[in-house]
A = this chain, B = another copy of it.
């Protein structure tokens, strides 16, 4: 009834976009975490090679329920 959540912090990465970097983190996490509900973007960074962004690195906090 009274929901309890846990939040964990993940860093996803992608050469394509900020959104893809987040989605990659979720895809990896969903293998072990059921019931993810929301995420909050905490930090956005990029790794640079040859003057261009090789991949985006996005840190997110993910909230999931503990109460089933």
Contact = CB atoms under 8 A, between A and B. Distances in A.
Contact of A37 (B19, B21, B48): B48
Number of copies: 12
Nearest to A45: B40
B26 A53 contact: yes
A56 to B, nearest CB: 7
A3 B7 contact: no
Contacts of A52: 23, 26, 30
A34 to B, nearest CB: 8
11 contacts: A2-B24, A22-B53, A23-B52, A28-B67, A30-B52, A36-B51, A37-B47, A38-B47, A39-B48, A40-B44, A40-B45
